[in-house]
Structure 1
Amino acid sequence: MTSVEHNNSTASGESRDSWKSKYGFIIACIGSAVGMGNIWLFPSRVANYGGAFLAAYLLFDVLIGFSGVVGEMAFGRKARSGPLGAFSKAGASIGYGKVGRMLGVIPMIGAFMMAIGYSVVVSWIFKYTFYAVTGRVLHLGDAAMEIAEENGDSAVAAGISGFASEFGHTASAFGNSYWLVIAIAVTLVIMVLGIASGVEKANKLMIPVFYALFISLVFYVAAQPGSAAGYRHMFTIDPEKIRDPMMWVYALGQSFFSLSLAGNGTIIYGSYLSDDVDVVASAWKVALFDTLAAMLAALVIVPAMAAAGETAFSGGPGLMFIYLPHLFAAMPGGPIVVIVFFVAVLLAGMSSLVNLFEVPIAAVQDHLGRSRVLSVALVGVIGAIISICIQGIVSDWMDFVSIYICPLGAGLAGVMFAWVWGKDAVVDAVSLGRERRVGSWFYPLYKYLFCILSLAVFLLGAVNGGIG
């Protein structure tokens, strides 16, 4: 009789999809991890804390990568399901399957809410990518600069004001609905093709191109006068920064969210994974390339800002849609640079959005017995309607999900797998596909350290209004 954890059929009786290759799984997980946090938050924190932040971030990356990422991959594969099924099966092991399923709703809803908010962000990127290709993005500040020249005001401040005005309109209520529909439509086309033919193939194209584009930007920025100051700032460790507790808090938050831990995305991708894949080896590769993506973004943005006279700056949408376009517009070859930048950012955003939508889509498909096409359509229509309605409050929406639901979902996943399903289930699941069983180091690292870090992210985020 086939064991429940190896049942690859959905509730409708359809054969459950899977990855075509180990490489496809790893690159899709990298795609889910590489997102806006790498591009608009990591560089600003490196700029503000220098090498101290890099050291702290790498430490947390190792700890979380070898605990939480490994655990969620193995949890999903053992359950052959997303968070709903995984939590249910873990709960069933002690006679509380219904309770487990109820708890699994939290990370599933969290993924859907994050997908809804992230769709709005990706729609901004679609618009600015189009503006970059047409050349319009370089002229967003022109009108304000002409007025500044007439009034004798600062052209730099006026140019930034022009970019800010355009972005303010874009991010307003119902201000970008056309591009939002396009962003969701493109995402759903990828999703409807399934895991192997859609998600895997899309990531195999998007992620290598993303890295190639950002590497080209690294070399370009390195050639700009004044960029060397940015490199010195990045890699200098200031003892005062090491002693700053908020630097450690931000490094923890950056690593936690950058590795896409929320009890959903990594679990669902792991659920499509074959038994011959070593999840420990896969996890460290995902952590490595996610860190590389963040470093590439920092190696572009920090030296570029330093060349403009800024060695400390704020992150977030303002950095990407206001300050960087204004900066690139003044650089030699600005039209090409801004195209490369926004195309690369678009690829990063799309790869993460695909992962977020897969969680609710798989839940409808696996547990409500709907076909892949109908599941994508149902989730897509609901997601599109809500996304259009929340455009003016998307920042608050994303803050709520990232501060409360994501770390709660990750912590619950750790509790359900390590504490509820238990040591034997965890060690067996992680050892599957390895030449030797996982060492005795893993279980306590996952059961105690990862769950404590998830709780810390939840509490610190609530107190500080978000840390990642």
Structure 2
Amino acid sequence: MPVLLSEMLIGRHGGSSAVESAKKVARDSNASTLWSLLASFGVLGAFLILSFYCVVAGWVLYYVGVFASDFVTALSGNFAGGALAGMDQAAIEGLFPGLLGNPGMLIGLHALFMAITLFFVARGVSGGIEIVAVWLMPAFFILFLGITVYSLFSGALGETMSFLFAFNPDRLFHGDVMLAGLGQAFFSLSLGSALMITYGAYAGRETNLANSTAIIAVADTGVAIMAGLCIFPIVFAAGLDAGSGPGLMFVSLPVAFQAMPFGSLIGLLFFVMVGFAALTSSVALLEAPASWLMHRFNIARAPAAIIIAALAFAVGTLAALGYNLLSDVHPLGFWPAFAGLDILDSLDAISGKILLPLSGLLTAIFTGWIADRRLVDAENGIDGGIHVLWRFLIAWLCPLALAAILIVGLWPTA
């Protein structure tokens, strides 16, 4: 929350792109404008994430199509039956590897999702981005709530509650679990990627940034808990592995939907919901570098968005080919911790383990030690005793925590 508030206040004070906003805060604090690197790293991170994020979102579109076709088939047969009728578990589990092995389909789905993202960003804040926020987010939550209620009543609720909420201090303090939790909270709030600095520039002077930060953090945590209550009852009811990583969504859940009543409909609604959520994120990821390009080179919004989207599509195409034609390419092979990563995972490592934590670390140091205190206090909306806590967190605890995340990410055995 302190880093989130820092990014938002930098954006509102600057009122421009993330990089230009950081420069303005630095100038108004009589500090070097090199501190704008905190935003530059974030913009680059957002660009790299956008490039492979739209590839992954293309996988979601694929499953929307699979379940849409299955739902149409179910309407003419046993509507209340499970999904993917006539397919056994091995066939369903084979859908995802089959997709990854098809470069044409991967690139086509990647292009489609990138084009949808570009459409909303090119239309501007009020004509595009606000439409995503005003219409797609409520639609997402309605679907989310509906599927969660269905999952709770039809899935393994008891096992889910124990899995999510049983307190086990041995597990909590085992290995790097605490740092993994810190990292998850950091990335879940889109910190370090210049997104919140960019969106902070759109906040009016009447907006209390401290209150907004609290609302965002509470809502983000609430959605995370709901996601667990939505997914794991289905997983446990089907006897699937809860720790199967990305395969949980694209391999395990389709298998689970097959065995559920109304599985075709639930599967379709689930992947539509995930698609809505992915689009809200991709729009933000494109907006940050597009905003930088607009202000840096005085380019209109639409051309700037097209340029960034085209470049991200090109990089993302390489990531998609990394699952098939370029599967032997390992860009970070020189780094022992990342030696076996394919192209997409390498992009993820560069952005998630280096650029984002580094940007967050610089932001905390800049706000806690470098930026003018009167400027920061005038923007953050904090007063009273909480202000002392805020200063301690942003100046001491946050830099230490982010430095630990950065070090462990780069050297896992450190």
Tell me the TM-score normalized by structure 2: 0.85
CA pair 263-321 structure 1, distance change in 2 beyond 3 A: closer
Q: Is the contact between residue 61 and residue 109 of structure 2 (CA under 8 Å) also seen in structure 1?
A: yes
Q: Is the contact between residue 192 and residue 198 of structure 1 (CA under 8 Å) also seen in structure 2?
A: yes
User: Superposed, which structure 2 residues align to 1:54-453 within 5 Å?
Assistant: 65=1, 67-93=2-28, 97-102=32-37, 104-135=39-70, 138-139=83-84, 142=87, 145=88, 156=89, 158-159=90-91, 161-169=93-101, 173=103, 175-224=105-154, 226-310=156-240, 312-316=242-246, 318-391=247-320, 392=322, 393-431=343-381, 439-453=387-401
Q: Is the contact between residue 76 and residue 83 of structure 1 (CA under 8 Å) also seen in structure 2?
A: yes
Gaps of 5+ in 1: 1-64, 146-155
2:154 is paired with a residue whose SS is coil
Q: Distance in 2 between matches of 1:97 and 1:174?
A: 48
- Equivalent pairs, count: 382
CA pair 178-435 structure 1, distance change in 2 beyond 3 A: same
1:208: how far off?
Answer: 1.3
Q: Distance in 1 between matches of 2:134 and 2:44?
A: 27
1:219: how far off?
Answer: 1.5
CA pair 161-192 structure 1, distance change in 2 beyond 3 A: closer
1:247: how far off?
Answer: 2.3
Q: Is the contact between residue 294 and residue 304 of structure 2 (CA under 8 Å) also seen in structure 1?
A: yes
Between stretches 94-103 and 174-183, larger displacement belongs to 94-103
Indicate the residue corresponding to 1:62 in structure 2: none
Q: Is the contact between residue 76 and residue 267 of structure 1 (CA under 8 Å) also seen in structure 2?
A: yes
1:135 is paired with a residue whose SS is helix
1:101: how far off?
Answer: 4.1
Q: Cα deviation per residue 1:206-262 (whole Å; 9 max; x = unaligned)?
A: 111111111111121122254432223322112322332432122111111111111
Q: Is the contact between residue 365 and residue 394 of structure 2 (CA under 8 Å) also seen in structure 1?
A: no
Tell me the TM-score normalized by structure 1: 0.76
Between stretches 306-315 and 110-119, larger displacement belongs to 306-315
Q: Is the contact between residue 88 and residue 104 of structure 1 (CA under 8 Å) also seen in structure 2?
A: no
Q: Distance in 2 between matches of 1:383 and 1:279?
A: 31
Between stretches 98-107 and 112-121, larger displacement belongs to 98-107
Amino acid at match of 1:356: L
Q: Distance in 1 between matches of 2:58 and 2:293?
A: 25
Q: Cα deviation per residue 1:289-344 (whole Å; 9 max; x = unaligned)?
A: 1112111110021111111224642222x111111111111111110010111011
